[in-house]
Amino acid sequence: MIQPAVSGPTQLQRLSVLIAVAFVDMIGLMMVFPLLPFAATDLGATPEMIGVLISAFSIAQLVSAPFWGRISDRYGRRPALMIGLTASTLAFAVFGVANSFWLLLLSRLVQGAGGGTTPVLQAYVADTIEPADRAKALGWLSAATSAGVSIGPVLGSAASHWGKMAPGLFAAALCSVNIVFAWRWLPESKHTGGATPTRKPVWHAAWEVLRHPTGLVPAFVWIYAVGMLALTCLTAVLALFLKDEFGVTARTIGIFFTYVGILSVVIRAVMLGPVVKRVGELRAMRLGTAILIAGLLLYPAVTGLWQLALIIPLVPMGTALLFPSTTSLMSRYSEPSEVGTTMGVAQTYGGIARTVAPLMATTAYQRLGHSAPFLVAASIVALVALLAVRLKPGHTADLPEPGVVA
């Protein structure tokens, strides 16, 4: 059980509230995201324009995240979270009333800027939890967001029965309640006093990943980033693919996203630990990569919804093995003083992948055909998978016990 860093159960209670806030915020996000292609199509947007909408969120998040971290260091975690949640509320409301592509784009930009508070959430955990229990606490936070991913799409689809405006306005109302809840129950966690240490910039390490892509840790960073690119390619075109190939509508799309979300939670909770313990992190990473490629290749071959139901689990299964194993290997084989920098570099490359992937996937979907995004993503993952193959167990000490599986 996680022990509080300071004075009894108070800090643990704060963590519980933080987890609840993150859970509700993710519900709001996922209420509107699966509906985005339908709303944009109704306003005359092409698949490529939908790709711009999806990427806009990642661009705004990538740009804003460092500033949120600095704001929270200077003014406290609580003000930064309140501002971020307020931005999300405004973005959901704009989505609800949007009557043009440009209002949808504005909604995504504001939503992404508000969503840049992830470092603030992590900093709150660091403030309140002992280092030995911090990974477990971050795992709880991740589990809460995964649960939000599972619930949000169904609520969004259900709300769409009351009209096109309903999901966005309902998400805005939910986020408003979340703000009040956080304001009432989430006190400041940052202690005042003392000098803030100067952090080592990540750009030198990021450049090293480009300069030496076949090095041990850079290879893990590339595998992580390309896996993120493939997953985002799938996510970007999934609603369009289901709409065009199987006649799925805004009222039914939530079922598919919830199915994927539940699979992700269950696979991580039930399958991941035993597999990594049995075969080790390196082999789990390779297995996850192979399953991810297979899932992407099989999507275009599906001819019915029952076949689709059998194929869909492959991608969540692949990423559930790939991402935690790769992150664990990165943390294990980085210099102890550089672990944080390595994680920052991986997130930077992952953020770039989430920005590029929607543009690439929707362009391929529109110009090359409905199968193209899946085949392109699978091909890129297969090329980078060669890095995973060339990494020998002797180089990475493929131990039976995992290092950091989160």
C-alpha to C-alpha distance for 332 and 227, rounded to whole angstroms: 19
Highest mean pLDDT among 91-105, 215-229, 343-357: 91-105
Average per-residue pLDDT in the chain? 78
Helix, strand and coil percent figures for the chain, each rounded to 5: 80, 0, 15
C-alpha to C-alpha distance for 304 and 261, rounded to whole angstroms: 21
Q: What is the pLDDT of residue 320?
A: 80
CA atoms within 13 A on the CB side of 199: 11
Contact yes or no for 148/75 (Cβ under 8 A): no
Write the pLDDT tens digit of every residue in 23-79.
888 888 889 888 888 888 888 888 888 888 888 888 887 777 656 666 766 777 788
β partners of residue 336? none
Q: Does residue 295 surpass a pLDDT of 60? A: yes
Q: Which of 333, 339, 315, 197 is nearest to 264 (CA)?
A: 315
Contact yes or no for 71/190 (Cβ under 8 A): no
Least confident segment among 115-119, 327-331, 367-371 = 115-119
Q: What is the pLDDT of residue 381?
A: 87
Amino acid at 295: G
Where is 171: in which H helix or E strand?
helix 166-185
Quick one: 192 exposed, middle or buried, by C-beta within 10 A (0-12, 13-18, 19+)? Answer: exposed
C-alpha to C-alpha distance for 164 and 168, rounded to whole angstroms: 8
Q: What is the pLDDT of residue 138?
A: 62
User: Mind listing the domains of the chain with CATH numbers?
Assistant: 8-187 (1.20.1250.20), 201-401 (1.20.1250.20)
Write the pLDDT tens digit of every residue in 172-204.
999 898 888 888 887 776 655 555 555 555 566
Longest dimension (CA), the chain: 63
Write the pLDDT tens digit of every residue in 1-29.
444 444 433 556 777 777 888 888 888 88
Q: Does residue 307 surpass a pLDDT of 80? A: yes
Q: What is the pLDDT of residue 392?
A: 59
Q: Which of 349, 161, 129, 373 is nearest to 250 (CA)?
A: 161
pTM of the model: 0.68
Once rounded to an integer, what is the mean pLDDT over residues 109-122?
72
Alpha carbon dihedral 131, 137, 139, 140, in 10-degree steps, equals 180
Long-range contacts of 367-371 (CB under 8 A, 24+ apart): 370/241, 370/244, 370/245, 370/300, 371/299, 371/300
Q: What is the pLDDT of residue 338?
A: 61
Q: Does residue 337 surpass a pLDDT of 60? A: no
Q: Does residue 372 surpass a pLDDT of 90? A: yes
C-alpha to C-alpha distance for 288 and 318, rounded to whole angstroms: 4
Name the pLDDT band for 374 (thresholds 50, 70, 90). very high
Amino acid at 106: L
| Six token digits for residue 354 | 């989430």
β partners of residue 129? 4
Q: Which residue has the higher pLDDT, 247 or 144?
A: 247
| DSSP category for residue 252 | T
C-alpha to C-alpha distance for 44 and 402, rounded to whole angstroms: 49
Q: Does residue 403 surpass a pLDDT of 70? A: no
| DSSP category for residue 129 | B
Contact yes or no for 25/88 (Cβ under 8 A): yes
